[in-house]
Amino acid sequence: MTLLAWLEGGGAPEAAKALKVHPQTVRYRLRQIEKLFGPGLRDPRIRFELEMALRGRRLMAQMDRIRRHASRVGRRTRAGAPPGVRPLGIAREARVNGL
């Protein structure tokens, strides 16, 4: 989360605001991340690839939450639906419920 907030925000103060932590906390976390990844974080191409990977991971997590929610709603709908009433599909149900 810290790395993505930093990449999206462009700096420690912006990332700190998004994460609701002190800017120095973000700087500390970035130093720890740099120990893991090395100096590659200074390379714009590597930062771009990391940002895309992290955004993809976030998107997949959101889609998983939507599927789980739709599945729970679908089970309740199918179990309580009167005979002859066809439940909505998962994608349609997610749109109807604002997900």
CA-based torsion, 93, 96, 97, 99: positive or negative:
positive
Q: What is the pLDDT of residues 64-97, one digit of tens each?
A: 888 888 887 766 555 566 666 555 565 565 565 5
Q: From the CB of residue 12, how many other CB atoms can be counted at a distance below 10 Å?
A: 21
Give φ, ψ of 54 to 5 degrees.
-70, -40
Domain boundaries, the chain: 1-42, 44-99
**Cα–Cα dist 28/30, whole Å:** 5
Lowest mean pLDDT among 12-16, 24-28, 38-42, 71-75: 71-75
